[in-house]
Amino acid sequence: MMPLLMPMMLLLGSLPGTGPARHVFARVPEHIRRRLPAAKLVPIGGKLVFA
């Protein structure tokens, strides 16, 4: 039972954010939406490489 509890709680916690995010991102141009994940992942990758 315990191994399923954490993923279920994470899924339930992410549901409120998906609705508002969907409405906001529907108004953002696609070329910006494509760059947002990259802008977030490049510094994270740099931390992992140089840590």
- What pLDDT shows up at residue 25? 82
Q: Tell me the pLDDT tens digit for each residue of 1-51.
A: 568 888 888 888 887 778 888 888 889 899 988 898 889 999 999 999 998
Prediction pTM value? 0.46
| Number of folded domains that form the chain | 1
What range does the domain containing 42 cover? 2-50
Other C-beta atoms lying within 10 Å of the C-beta of residue 25? 12
Q: What is the DSSP letter of 42?
A: H
Using alpha carbons only, give the angle 38, 21, 3 rounded to the nearest 5 degrees.
80
Give residue 2's pLDDT.
67
pLDDT for res 12: 82
